[in-house]
Each structure stands twice: as structure tokens, then as C-alpha cells.
Structure 1
């Protein structure tokens, strides 16, 4: 009897592995699938199969000592890889500026200790003691109990980073249950900190990511790293999310005689200049510097419309798309992780990707989404260290995104004139950089979108 333990950490993981075909395929392949969910159980009510069990994970509140050991591990990992711009930025941003609490003091101590001890051996030493400390928690005891009852043959983590999953990983290790994780996003290895722990095997997007995995985690073994693509984009080839042009125009109340440009916002922590870029475009349309087009703006699922209120009142030529992501509970330590999209939201996003003509964003993953549909992408980055604006040009130096800009798959606009000119060129000649887009997609997404879920299940069977 084959049993799969499936760990869904958050709303994005739910979107990628439940709202794609993955869970459906897994339920057909395995005699039983046990979902260990960081979200409320009720979200799985649409799945009525007898071989599905859902267990809601505890809300984990990390003890200070465990946090310190994790911090040692993460800072040591970053210190070891300071030559990578994104990691270097995170390393410097995390430094204690002023001691205001025990946490800030411990953080300072972690930076001082890892100044000397930051080898891979040291990192694994910190991790060993971090995981030993987890054995004293009630979450570890609870997970030991129900993993013993469930007896999954394999535990598949759909995200490698959330620290609140560490007691579950610790329990699996204690029970000698084999574990695997999916590397969640294309920037996670070269631009982020250490993953939550050491797994038996890894599923990655591409051969590029496989090489990164071996570089950043030298104890990983090549045969235990499988290239599977990513379910993040699988809804773009599934029938249930497909719509026609009439749906697109009616849903967003568009003029079907005009082309459509689309601005996708990041969250306020990284994409602070979104309001500026939106206003530049809206004003250019108003002043006829850009041909008369439909203009859609989609905000980040992680925030509400507060920072856009002034622009919403000022410009009537913008169609706003606020993601339909429901906050399922508020008592979680990571509240943002509890937002879950509706099927309609995925359908609406796919409609935008299918029928909009140009995308503008600030160096986000949405660039890849639009390239999947072979649409022109413009990255607006006006800010630098000299001009007083938030320095978003720094994101051009992140290793994962530098590959995109260097490939010529996107156009980078560093000023108002460049942005307006780039939009006009893209509207006039949408296939100008089509071949470059294909090259970067092949590099970053190492497999076809169709069959992604089946490919992941096959890889899990091979690794089990």
C-alpha cells in the first residue's frame, strides 16, 4: 500500500499543488494521500475521495533558543555566499543596527559567531542542534504521534523554506521517513537564505536550478535532485481556467477595439514605486503619449488597496484588478501565508495573460508568466542610490534576474521617457524579442507545462 504525505505550507503552495492537477494525480497514483496542511482543513472539502486525509498542522511558535540556532545556520549560509548580490543584500539588511531587545542581541551574536564559523560543516552543526532543540516542543510530540499512526512512505514538502515546518521535518527524521522538497521559486537558491533543513531529495524547476542546488548545498547528491518544471504555471494549460476574449473584455469592462497594457504590482516591501509607475502610464495615456489603450493594474495578493487610493481617485482610465485571495484565519504567526486564491482569480489572471498585449512590472516572477504567453515584458526601475527614489535598480543585480535582463527577453526602463517609449514599441512590434523570451523560458522552466503534475508524481515514485 503506497502512502504519500503531502505538506502544504501556505496559500501559494495550495495554489500550486492543490489548484493545479497535482493532488488529483496523486490521489489516483497512491492508495492514500495524507495532506499535512498549514491551512485550515475546510479548504479541502471539495475533494471527496476516500483515500484523502487532511491533518491541520499546529501553529508553531518558535522558542528563542531554537530561533537563535536557526539564525546561526541562516547567517552562516549567507556569509558563505556573499558574492551573490541578493544574498549579500539580505545579509546586510538583517544586521542588528541597535540593540533594543534580547532578539536583537542574539542576532548580533549570530553575526559575530558566524564571522568565524560559517563553513558547511558549521552550518550542519547549527542545524543538528536546532533540530535537537525541536524535540522538546509539543509540536514535535504531536507530529511524532500522527506520523506514527499515518505511516506515510514518503513526506513531500511543497516548499523548502517555512521555518514553521521544521518540527514536522524533525519528526519525520526521527521516524526515518524519507523526505523530499520542491524548491518553491526560481530565486530561492541564489537570492534567499538557507532552507529549513536537510531533505533526502529535491525537486527543482530546471537544470539551472539543479546546478544551483549542488553549488549551494554541496552535500546534496545529483541523483537525488529531479528536474520536474513547476506547477506554478500549470493552470495556464488546464481547461478549467481557460476563457475566451469575450470573457476578458466583459469581466474587466474593456473596449475591445483597443489594445490592453497590464501593470502587475509587487508587494510594498520590494516594489515601493508601483504607484509612481502606474501614474506615469496613466498620465501618458491621458496625454496621448501612449495610444489609446485599456490599462489594467493588478495589485499584490499580499496587500489591500490602501497605497493606491490616491491614484484610484485621480485616474479614471485604470481598470483595477484586486486579487481574490481570501484570508482564511488571522491567528497565525504568518498571517500573510493564510491567503488562498479563488478559482475565478486564477481564471482572471490567465485571461489577462492570454489577451493583454504588454506587461510592465518591477522585476517580478510575473515576467515569466507573460513570457509563457509570448508577450512583451517591460521592467520599470527608476530608483537608484543617487536620485532619491527607492533603489529598485538593485534588483537587476540579483543573480536569477540578471539572467533575464542579460538575455534580452525583457526591456528595462530606467526613466519615464524610456518606459513610455518601450510601451509604444511593444504595442507596435510584440514579437520583437520573442526568440529571447523562449531562450530564458527554456533555461528557467526546464520542462513543458503540460504534464507537470504527472512528472512530479513520477519523480516522487523514483525517489521513494
Structure 2
């Protein structure tokens, strides 16, 4: 008899990996009965024809966000002391004291942090969050759904969503095994593990070591190294367009060599538009010397600002704005901006038909290195930097950048006066990070990037045999 697996979407971030790849098809070929347990407002049934159980109750306990924020900050404090490393406080977002409600939340959160910034204290915070969510009406709602549909296992597509807590608690209380996928390459050191599940799927051996290092209550047999479906489409040659077709689709000049500028969200790179301007100025100077270059600007899907508009308008002879990444905004939060399946094809061909990519510390370094294309990371301050604006330089001090096997795993531009020369060297084949970048890619993504979906289903099959 087929084992019934609920693939759980607490929010939209997992759609790209687990609805728009071949993940479902692979699982069905391996004999699983797959239902999507859907907490998003994107209908998998209507849009993709998938079997789904909708969660219409999106309620969380009013105190859960406060305790979750306290838990995160307490974990970061413990990591700072445990590893004697001041990088961990830089992961914290500032408190808000605008209005009575925000002031109360901030003061209460700080009180909890003061009381519970220890390994034992963090455990108490996690238990308190579980207690709150068991009292939340969503817990009983989800429990009733599980009792009705009787899945054999719950696979949660991200470990970082508070919306998942009550649902996963209901599953655990019913004796249904729960598995969480660690969503992003930087999540573990940043204390982004909101849920506690029976098992975890991670991208690589590197990420497994991190999980065991930061969460001593998780034991080695609970963690399965599977890879991530995120990069599988880069190996699907059916997505590839000819250069002529790609340029025609996006109104590009096929005689030009294009450099991709991959935009960032405002939190990561608040002055990002000025790096785009610096690249445009470098390209303009190179074109004056005989090059024929253009820039493809690929917008960050969760950037809702108009901050690039002036730079793009002033350089419209150089900067080509592709249609925004094919994502659909169905809410005001970053995790309510959901990808469309067609975006895989666009990203594949942007990588394939650009000379290289430039950005501020984005994981697009891995997308492009999968296509044997270099990446330039900007790492210099802009003159517009002032008090209250976050310096992008701190990004490169984060723990996940310490996974680089060598400094040559990316091309770093540390002075904007060097940018023109770096671009020229890359175009002339004199400078590249691809060889070292591939080593970094293997550290982060794992040794079998094409087999991630299959490896996840194999892990779930093993878990289902464990009593």
C-alpha cells in the first residue's frame, strides 16, 4: 500500500522547490501518495492540478511572535558566548518603539531575552511556544484535518515559519512523523529554526555539521543530507533557449554581450541601486573603448521599492529591464510573493546568455557557477552611506561566507575604481572564480545537485521504516 505523505507549505517560500520542480513527479514514480497540505493562498489544485488539503485557519497565538523573537535573540546570544564571536549580534534586527503596542512588545521581548539567554532558557522558550500554539484554535483545526486524512508522514518545506508550529505539533501529538527541510544556505547560524521536528533534511554535509553544532538536542541520525531541489532546473536542458530566441523574447540586442545585475532586497543592500549605477558607468566607459556591452537587471522579487528607477532611466541605453522575475504578489509580506513555474526558464537563460553576474552577497553565485559563469561581489561602501543605513560589508562577515574554500570562490570588487578593470578582465577570460566557485558550490549544495528530489524521497522512505 502506498505511503501517504503530506507536503506541508506553511508559506510560499517552498513552492519554488517543491511544487514547480519535478519533486512531486519523482515521489510518485517512487510509489508515494502525495497530498499538499497548503497553508498559502496559492491554490495548488486550481493552478497545478495537485491534490491538496487547504488550511484556511491562518491564526497563530498573539504571544507566539514575541516568544519566537525572544528565542531567536537568546540563541544568538548563546552562540556569541559559546563561540566567542561578535558576528551573531549582527543578525539581530532593531526593536521598534513606535507606538504603545510596539513598545510593549519590545520591552516584553527584552525581558524574556534577559531571563532565558542560556541553553536551558532557550529550551523553556521553545516549550512555552509549543504550549501557546497548542492553545491556539489552529492546533485543533489542523489536528482534525490530520485525523480525517490520516497521512503517514508530514514533510514541512521550511523550518522557519511560525505558521507551521501548531500544525506540526498536532501531527506529533497524533504520532505522525514530522520532517523539516532547512530552507536556505544561511539559515542555521542565523537562529532561523522555528520548528522542532522528528527529522531534518539538509543540503550538504556542511549544513548537517551546522545543525548538530547549533542544536545539540538534535542527534546525528535525525539529519539526512539530501541536497536541495532549488538548483535542479539548471540541469534541465529543455529549458534552454537559443541566444536568438532569448534576445527576441526579451527585446535584447543579440550583438551585445550582457552582464547580469542581480538586485537585492532593501534589508540586505539598502544602497543597491548605486552599485547598479557603478556598473552602468563602467560599462559606458568600456563601450567608449570599443566594447559592445549591456546590462540585464533582474529585480529581487521581494523588493517593493522604486529605488532603482532613476538609475535605470538615466542609463536606459545600457540597462535592459527584463520583465520582473515571474513571481506573483498575493500579499504584502515577503513570503506572500510566490514564484511562477515559468521563472525557472527565465533564470536558466539569464544565466546561460549573460557573461557573468554581479550583486551584493547573493546566492546567485551558485546559479551562475552551475552554468560556468563568474560572479562579482561588490564589497565597498557607497558615499551615500550614513548613520542609520546598514553597511553591506557586514554581510561578508556572516558565518555562511566562512564556508568559502578560498577567497577566489567569488570575484570581490573592493573599490569602485577597480570595477571597470575587473569587468574587462572577466570578458577577456583573464579572471574567473568558476573553478573555486564550483568547489564552494559543492560545499554548500552538496555533491549531487541533480538528485536532490530523489534523495529527499529516499530519506522519507527510510524515516517511514523507523518505528
TM-score w.r.t. the length of structure 2 is 0.90
Q: Which residue of 2 aligns with 1:5?
A: 6
1:173 counterpart SS class = helix
| 2:191 paired residue number | 193
- 1:82-97 residue pairs with structure 2 within 5 A? 82=80, 83=84, 87-91=88-92, 93-95=93-95
> What do the CA deviations read for 1:256-297 (whole angstroms, capped 9, x no partner)?
333221100011222222211111121222233673212111
Contact 1:357/1:430 (CA < 8 Å) preserved in 2?
no
Give the structure 2 partner of residue 109 of structure 1.
Answer: 108
Output the TM-score relative to the length of structure 1.
Answer: 0.91
CA pair 45-387 structure 1, distance change in 2 beyond 3 A: closer
Q: Unmatched 5+ residue regions in structure 1?
A: none
> Equivalents in 2 of 1:71, 1:345: separation in Å?
33
Structure 1 position 410, deviation (Å): 0.7
SS at structure 1 position matched to 2:358? strand
Matches within 5 A, 1:26-425: 26-40=27-41, 42-45=43-46, 47-48=48-49, 53-58=51-56, 60-82=58-80, 83=84, 87-91=88-92, 93-95=93-95, 98=97, 100-190=99-189, 192-288=190-286, 291-304=291-304, 306-316=306-316, 317-321=318-322, 322-327=324-329, 329-330=330-331, 335-383=333-381, 388=386, 390-404=390-404, 406-425=406-425
The equivalent residue for 1:22 is: 23
Greater displacement, 315-324 / 279-288: 279-288
Helix, strand or coil at the partner of 1:197: coil
Deviation at 1:225, TM superposition (A): 0.7
SS of residue paired to 1:262 = strand
Shift of 1:87: 3.2
| Match in the other structure for 1:428 | 428
1:397-438 deviations in Å (ceiling 9; x for gaps): 011124338431111112221222211111111663332112
Is the contact made by 1:214 and 1:220 (CA closer than 8 Å) also made in structure 2?
yes
1:94, distance to aligned residue in structure 2 (A): 3.5
The structure 1 segments of at least 4 consecutive aligned residues displaced by more than 4 Å after TM superposition are 83-86, 384-387
Tell me, in whole angstroms, the C-alpha distance in 1 between the residues paired with 2:77 and 2:103: 18
d(CA) in 2 for partners of 1:86, 1:453? 33
Change (3 A) 1:431 1:296: same
Q: CA deviation at 1:103?
A: 4.1
Q: CA deviation at 1:12?
A: 3.0
The DSSP-based 3-state class of the residue aligned with 1:115 is helix
1:189 aligns to what SS in structure 2? Answer: coil
**Contact residue 72 and residue 111 of structure 1 kept, 8 A:** yes
CA root-mean-square deviation:
2.4
Please tell me whether the aligned partners of residues 33 and 53 of structure 1 are also in contact (alpha carbons under 8 angstroms).
yes
> Alignment length, in residue pairs?
454
